[in-house]
Chain A
Amino acid sequence: MSKKQTLVVIGNGMVGHNFLETLVASEIKDNYEIVTFCEEVRPAYDRVHLTSFFSGKTAEDLSMVTDGFFEENNITVHLNDKAVSIDRANKFVTSEKGITISYDKLVLATGSYAFVPPVQGSDRENCFVYRTIEDLEALTEAAKTSKVGAVVGGGLLGLEAAKALKDLDLDTNVIQFSPRLMSAQLDTGGANMLASKIKALGISVLPSKNTQKIVDGTERKHKMMFADGTSLETDIILFSAGIRPRDEIARSSGIEVGTRGGIVIDNQCKTSEPDIYAIGECAVWNGETFGLVAPGYNMGRVVVAHLAGQESSFAGADMSTKLKLNGVDVASIGDAHANTKDALIYTYQNGADEIYKRLVVSADRKKLLGAVLVGDASGYGALSQYYLNAIDLPEHPDSLILPARSDESVGLGPDALPESAQICSCFDVTKGQICSAVENGCHTLPALKDETKAATGCGGCAALLKSVLDCELEKSGFEVNTDLCEHFAYTRQDLYNLMMVHEIKTFDDFLDQHGSGLGCEVCRQAVGSILASYWNEYVLAEGQMSVQDTNDTFLANMQKDGTYSVVPRMTGGEVTPDGLIAIGQIAKKYKLYTKVTGGQRVDLFGARVDQLPPIWKELIDAGFESGHAYGKSLRTVKSCVGSTWCRFGVDDSVGLAVELEHRYKGLRSPHKIKFAVSGCTRECAEAQGKDIGIIATEGGWNLYVCGNGGMKPRHADLFATDLDKETLIKYIDRVLTFYIRTADRLQRTSVWMENMEGGLDYLKSVVINDKLGLCEELEEHMQNVVDTYQCEWKTTIEDEEKLKRFRSFVNSDETDENIVFVEERGQIRPANEDERQHFALVEEV
């Protein structure tokens, strides 16, 4: 085995670190002892998102080094120690602290420094640059005693820095030498639009200002004197006038540098000296330096490939950028200034919405050469793909920047991109790589990011990545297995249709005719729900019981300690004083915990299974009926007090709520259903957060559908307006029956509609315009359910056979002694583990 060579990396910034990551992930990692010098006190961090330091990100948040990275890969790091010289003849590096390391291969990743113009007074106190975490810390400190701030430089970084000053509560000024902002990326039109947006944020922009000297101010700390005779007083000055390559170590060691600075490299990123490479912002290639991380990462990959003896070369970089500057979208692609000969220009300017878009296209109108987007950069993904992959433009290229007024889509679907299309330029991830990752099981955005690293750099390609993912998943139909479970190779809707056609009435028949095995909790419940929705028979009827979830089997909701809660129906949230007293007395007698629910009724907790029938007997005797809180069925129709009492009420919301709740109570559905009725547009019943929401208006009832609260809240969509009650009920009948027939198992109405092709419009066409000719049938189905309603608890307590089920033990009248309660705030609650053990000990004593 040959002895390992030593590879030294000078600089542990973003590019230097990315190089290390690429190296240790490659097959040649074991060929080298790796040593790196880092001038700063902390290893690589995300300088691109430096500004987020002000919005609460810490140095750790910004760190690019995963825990244990250096240790696990045996990389020696010399932090806070700057490499100062290279002895080319004897091949060793010396650091400021006097460490010398012999190298076989050397990589220079020294980066760049912030350029401070040679202005008299630029070294005064409270004059800063914007480059390191230390710079930001010093700036924050100084801002505490300052009122006015000035940024010298109106480029990308300058505008970011201006936002930082603004966030530090300073009166902020951007002073720029050139007549326009972001002069490297934007044309005059785009820059003007940007300037007006920046000004609207309360930041002053002073164009064409040449700072000549900085002297003591009278009101503020400094006075900046400009060439045109004007001046500005400020407390803080931040220089952001561009960056310069850090090439001093190369200069002093006799390595070739460019005429305007920068370490000269060839296509393999080799410097003039054998075995020494340079990558990132310190390097100059073909007379060009690159102030973005993506080309630096790319150079690093080239070096690793070259070390491994593979063919690879650096061929320049796409300097397109997209970013959000102070909340303003700005993007620039390719030849934004139309420097290409005979280039044609399309411009769209929308003064009202402050949007500016410009396309630069080839003379034959076939190819995109460049683009500028300000105020709306949503087209960046598609445009940069046209540019990078030289895709033929549509017949009318301006359709790409004109607002879509018709239904036709002008976007470039991910399907149109070639496999070689680069989706993520930071990590050079192609569409082909993404597609194969999707194929290998990355079916979510996080999984895909983790696997490919795409969209983990600047994040600009995240939207495009998502659309590629969606497209791939959809295309390959991704064998998203829609089988209900291993026992039924059908969807819920398939089973529903089978049931209707073959008139199947029990789970066993279903299993015999269309399934296999014994079933499971998934198919049993799904089939149970379908049968109940359609036939609307007693859920505990012979042959039906085994398919109900425990909540339906015992007609109550099982809680964490195995006891149940009991919820009597209170239609529309209405209850008489006698009803309330009865509930109170029953709760007291059985020592139940009582709580008012979000659905405007009372929930009684802590009933043992054997107590359910006597509790219900008493509730029914007091005039109550099942609230179906245990079922995937209509829960409640919430209401505000409405026109009966309320000064603002427009119509009788309680009356309608009571009527609707009686109509749809007991209706079994793919998931729970909630309604609400508000008596006016103040919307006190929160109807727009419900599956079915109704709001009274002067002209009639407005119907909203498919909203929900919970984990992923969704506002309901306005479905129809100014309805009379008869039409309203017709529409609700149809919507609900259509939902029950076509939804997937455990699919709320919101998800059902979002997944429906055509969405809301399609649903309207079915329900309002009877597109499928189904309306009559849907209404009949619902009417049948309404006509065959029974209170399941009333049926149950009248049937001795059924009551057997509610014994705690089949062979004993004892009750479960493991159920233990303690008292809290004057009521019972389940004992926790410790309390139960304590209780058991006391019992034994």
Chain B
Amino acid sequence: MSQWIDICAVSDLQANSGVCALVKGKQIAIFYIPKNNAIYAIDNYDPFGKVHVLSRGLIGDIKGEPMVSSPLYKQHFSLTTGQCFEDQSVKNEVYAIRIENNRVEISLEG
């Protein structure tokens, strides 16, 4: 059973862009694409720059796969799997996230 944790209101999100949440000491980047009614959660850590900045990257897609581009060195990470497009050996954690009653909720369990 997933344990859903309340994060914020949908209106606190940035459309077509990201914000960062602190969930049990973990930094999680949240991206919201209202047009597709899509929301994604991925570890905020940039494994190349070794700092927590992914929430401030630009989003979009690569051949249909939604992605975020690191604001530091521009590597791309899949928003659905966390896989880095440039380096097969690098994969960020992604988390279950949903919108319930205009509230954003995250589950840290796999």
Contacts and interface: CB of A to CB of B under 8 A. Distances in A.
**A and B found bound together:** yes
A814 B26 CA distance: 12
Interface string A803-845: 0110011111010101100000000000001000000000000
Given A520-B69, A810-B12, A486 B62 contact: yes
A809 B49 contact: no
A11 B11 CA distance: 81
B62 to A, nearest CB: 7
Interface string B56-98: 1111111110110101101000000000000000000000000
Given A546-B16, A810-B12, A521 B63 contact: no
B14 A546 contact: yes
Contact of A833 (B21, B50, B63): B50
A265 B33 CA distance: 78
B27 A546 contact: no
Contact of B27 (A520, A525, A816): A816
A562 B69 contact: no
Contacts of B13: 810
A521 B64 contact: no
Contact of A545 (B14, B51, B67): B14
Contact of B60 (A524, A554, A818): A524
Interface-centre pick from A508, A550, A804, A819 (highest chain B CB count, 10 A)? A550
Contacts of B62: 486, 520
A518 B66 contact: yes
Contact of B58 (A508, A524, A814, A819): A524
B63 A486 contact: yes
Given A525-B58, A814-B22, A553 B17 contact: yes
A810 B52 contact: no
Nearest to A547: B58
Interface in A533-554: 545-547, 549-550, 553-554
Given A549-B71, A562-B51, A816-B27, A809 B60 contact: no
Interface in A466-497: 486-487
Contacts of A518: 33, 36, 59-61, 66
A517 interface: yes
Contact of A558 (B12, B36, B59, B71): B71
A553 B56 contact: yes
B22 A519 contact: no
A341 interface: no
Nearest to A814: B22
Contacts of A804: 12
Nearest to B50: A833
Interface residues of A, number: 35
B42 interface: no
A549 B58 contact: yes
B58 A520 contact: yes
Given A805-B14, A816-B52, A521 B74 contact: yes
A518 B15 CA distance: 12
Given A520-B69, A545-B14, A550-B57, A811 B27 contact: no
A607 to B, nearest CB: 14
Contacts of A525: 58
B39 interface: no
Given A486-B62, A546-B16, A560 B71 contact: no
Contact of A508 (B35, B56, B64): B35
A440 B80 CA distance: 36
A722 interface: no
Interface-centre pick from B7, B17, B64 (highest chain A CB count, 10 A)? B17
A688 to B, nearest CB: 33
B60 A520 contact: yes
A546 B15 contact: yes
Given A520-B60, A558-B56, A810-B20, A818 B8 contact: no
Nearest to B36: A518
Interface string B10-50: 00111111011111000100100101100000000000011
A561 interface: yes
A818 B51 CA distance: 8
A139 B56 CA distance: 65
Contacts of A811: 7-8, 12, 21-23
Contacts of A521: 57-58, 60, 69, 74
Contacts of B50: 833
Contacts of B64: 517
Interface-centre pick from A487, A517, A525 (highest chain B CB count, 10 A)? A517
Interface-centre pick from B20, B51, B59, B69 (highest chain A CB count, 10 A)? B51
Nearest to B53: A562
A562 B49 contact: yes
What 9 pairs between A and B have smallest CB-CB spacing? Answer: A546-B16, A520-B60, A550-B71, A521-B58, A521-B69, A562-B51, A518-B61, A810-B19, A519-B60
Interface of A: 486-487, 508, 517-521, 523-525, 545-547, 549-550, 553-554, 558, 560-562, 609, 804-805, 808-812, 814, 816, 818-819, 833
Interface of B: 7-8, 12-17, 19-23, 27, 30, 33, 35-36, 49-53, 56-64, 66-67, 69, 71-72, 74
8 contacts: A508-B16, A524-B60, A547-B58, A553-B56, A561-B51, A562-B52, A562-B53, A810-B12
